[in-house]
Amino acid sequence: MAAALGGRGARRLRLLLSALKPGIRVPRPGPAAALSSSVTSARVAVNGVHLHYLRTGDGEHVVLLLPGMLGSGETDFGPQIENLSKKLFTVVAWDPRGYGLSRPPDRDFPVEFFERDAKDAVDLMKALKFKKVSLLGWSDGGITALIAAARYPSCIHKMVIWGANAYVTDQDEELYQGIRDVSQWSERTRKPLEALYGFNYLARTCEKWVDGIKQFKHLPDGSICRHLLPLVQCPTLIVHGEKDPLVPRFHADFIHRHVRGSRLHLMPEGKHNLHLRFADEFNKLVEDFLQ
């Protein structure tokens, strides 16, 4: 796999796989188990499925954490669930349908899957009786957040995204093909997700994700949500790790140019998982922006 990408591509692939999902903790079974004295786990019926979420804190400002590909609230946002101010914020971290404990159903990727996730996310928060929320979206979750902010502006207070892209290029597709075969992933990267999903589900879903993302390359301008960016009205912070091996800098720049009034914050040593690697710095940046 790496050899097929060439020397530079192989190095980028190794960087990607080493930072894809580090430090994953497998969620405990049971739809309403308490994870600790301050974090609760539950499911709620939304749009024909049962969506799992974690909830912590009792602040007036409600924040929804949106995970990336194959991710869940717990696997992708441990430092945020644990350390974002519980006095200032009520934090909800969800598992999109087909991911984490929001199964069944199995995850699928029709061309409108990001739009579906955005509606699910907004409707989940409505089901929890929250009228207006801020969004923290990582990678695929950042795309979902952008769509939610554009489609449901009255529901969104503020937004922070990182590792997201609004369209797909040939360069992006090459990187995605590089992670298609999970048997080629490093054991450190693969094993925690394999424990969560089982190898067959993990492998099958990753392949389907790559094919799902490839669909957008055949749309005008390779658009995932680039046509929606001018509709975003909420204050938006775009964070980008300048060493991100999966999402090149031009994607962050494009979103910054087309989301009116947005701010771009660069982290020189940040990679795709900057919110985990530099959790304290990231959390402070988020808390300052949301306040």
Residues labelled catalytic: 139, 244, 272
Cβ partners under 8 Å of residue 129, min gap 6: none
Q: What share of the chain is helix, strand, coil (3-state, %, to 5)?
A: 45, 20, 35
Give the alpha-carbon dihedral of 167, 148, 162, 127, to 10 degrees: -140
Maximum Cα interatomic distance, the chain, rounded to a whole number of Å: 51
130 token code pair: 């929250």
From the list 163, 135, 129, 168, the residue with the least C-alpha distance to 150 is: 135
- H or E stretch at 53: strand 49-56
SS3 158: strand
CA torsion through residues 171, 276, 205, 125, sign? negative
Cβ partners under 8 Å of residue 204, min gap 6: none
From residue 110, give the alpha-carbon distance in Å to each of 114, 180, 188, 213, 215.
9, 18, 30, 10, 9
CA angle 108, 110, 113 (to 5 degrees): 80
Bridge partners (DSSP) of residue 55 are 40, 92
* CA 145 from centroid of its chain's CA atoms: 9
- List phi, psi (to 5°) of 241: -85, 120
